[in-house]
Chains A and B, each alone.
Chain A
């Protein structure tokens, strides 16, 4: 590729560069020098960049760069900024009583959005993304609330949990009638028939009639005389269409045999008051709140 190979191209009147690849020759339409220099400048810039910023992976980390820049630090400062931007609403939320929040539309929107995010982070693993629940984990969309569906009740439940390690936690105890041999298997069967009969699902009227006596002795204290439930005891109603542990006979029998008692953590130790307030507003808004 020496100058000797340069030749004049007839068609264009331009010389070739002397470069040739399989008969294909390159016309010399020169690059401007400033372009070449800006290329060199970019190389110099690149070296400077590598010195100033994190650049090379090492066996036990990476070169940190002289400016100490880190994307994580940037994210953290942006999070702090966002929190600061939210502080106006958070302060107002802290000051406003939970019942009053819905009278302030902007605040309500903020609490709902925050509540939704906190729900996804903390509650969804048990209650489901849509708070739809599953067997043993209550559906928070419906209108059946063991411990009360008023917004203050919900707030209390979130704070202190159910059967949680908290002094003020909500707690009750469904005895393990079968496991602890408090009732004979036949009695359990009769009690189950009676419970099913409350919502018209019993197929054995005789057993149900016997079960009524057992129910009044053993169950009515928490579930109410007619199985209507006692919210102050956390005793669920047995007359409606919503069954946390299933409404088939096998499910009801199992409930009586082994007792039931799910645990919900007390969130007061893990989440701040504003977040708990937001969560209560959100959960209350899901449709079941009374």
Chain B
């Protein structure tokens, strides 16, 4: 993926040069104002390769995030023989979500809700602090588009070469380059979709099935969907997704303020912009030599010098491009940089930039995140591995027995969230002469050993009966009783209150 040409083509001494040794790039922002048609044709963006600090950060983020995405489904986590050993598994057929030590049952979906709330708040905070940093560095659309552009550059060369190739008549070489580009995009799409389906079924098994053509149809369908959308959105649609499809650019306007650090052109330093002639002094002019390098590297094809705009994903590549130029022409770095409006205003008056991190907006977001995180942590720590529910029968409320006694029916549900089979004993307290019977177990129910297989729910029908003599001690039509479920392995008791009803009078 090495660039096939230097970053700035040195063509010294031309009239169109922005400065001696720095060519002006013939490029125009895609969102140029002025007279427009009612429906816009897409202006193809030939993003030029950028080099520098932010480009390196973006490469690093891309490698880490893609590695995490591709490697995660292969991690194993031992949960005993009865359960899948995939560390992260969204097991839809069995309605379980496995996440390392944590296993989420459908009724515990609020953990996911909590995570989503936390993610939303983190996004708000990030935006408030540093604008659309999510868009610029970590959004999958950005990461994959970056990858697709790198592949395109590998096959077709950098900006100028690509533009020449598109203008050139069709030839064997052109067809080869185009076909290889699309094939490699499709391959990336296939790997992306492939990795996605691995999260939903045991990865090694599914991989084998996919290759041998024995995977479930749904796996191929989703593999196809993800492969195609990756190819379409990352390879072809690119900035169109950010500009026209994504709601986030519309929302962010409400989330940034004058203290948010945005990728900003410091116009008080750059203006008035003008081409720099050899020997010309830097006095009475801005540092911007109007070389348009910032536009050429922009993956959405805009001009950052027009100020903050909806299209800008804040990827900071224009900072790299401009710093490179400033170094060449011998002017200070950071004509384009992360800066907030407050600082710009201060600097225009000759003041110092100010980083106002601890403002109400940020503190509130952070506070909310800590609150939600704390609540989730508390819920997680209190998560029981044994859930016991006692549902008393409502129909009939009680059963008159022929001997004059009364019987009540209950449904006992035991949820064993552990990875091994557990045995439990059930007893009932609070009622004299109460007899316990459990359907499926002969004899005295309080001696029965109830076993629940790993990671499952078992329902038991339980009858409590009191004979005529015992009934005399039951004063109320509805007497309190307590069911005690004891785990025979660790002796832990779980108590659940219920009532015992008898006929009136």
Contact = CB atoms under 8 A, between A and B. Distances in A.
Contacts of A102: 440
A288 B461 CA distance: 13
A30 B39 contact: yes
Given A102-B440, A139-B396, A12 B402 contact: no
A31 interface: yes
Contacts of A14: 33-34, 36
Contacts of A105: 440
Interface string B221-243: 00000000000000000001000
Given A15-B36, A28-B38, A31-B39, A142 B401 contact: yes
B258 to A, nearest CB: 19
Given A33-B39, A34-B240, A287 B463 contact: yes
Contacts of B41: 32-33
B350 to A, nearest CB: 29
A58 interface: no
A132 B395 contact: yes
A287 B402 contact: no
Contacts of B401: 142-144, 241-242
A132 B402 CA distance: 15
Interface in B284-325: none
B400 interface: yes
B475 interface: no
A285 B461 contact: yes
Nearest to A31: B39
A139 B407 CA distance: 13
Interface in A124-168: 128-132, 139, 141-144
A240 B402 contact: yes
B36 A28 contact: yes
Nearest to A37: B39
Contacts, number: 91
**Chain B contact patch, size range:** 20 to 34
Interface in A30-73: 30-36
A30 B37 contact: yes
Contacts of B393: 130
Contacts of B39: 30-33, 36
Contacts of A241: 400-404
B400 A32 contact: no
A130 B36 contact: no
Interface string B388-428: 00000111100111111001010000000000000000000
A237 to B, nearest CB: 7
A143 B40 CA distance: 82
A160 B273 CA distance: 101
Contacts of A17: 38
Contact of A242 (B37, B394, B400, B463): B400
30 contacts: A13-B33, A14-B34, A15-B35, A31-B39, A32-B39, A32-B40, A32-B42, A34-B240, A35-B244, A36-B39, A108-B440, A128-B395, A128-B396, A132-B395, A132-B396, A132-B399, A139-B396, A139-B400, A142-B402, A143-B401, A143-B402, A143-B403, A240-B403, A241-B401, A241-B403, A241-B404, A242-B400, A242-B401, A287-B437, A287-B439
Nearest 5 A/B pairs, CB to CB = A130-B395, A240-B402, A132-B396, A30-B40, A13-B33
Interface of A: 6, 12-15, 17, 28, 30-36, 102, 105, 108, 128-132, 139, 141-144, 237, 240-242, 285-288
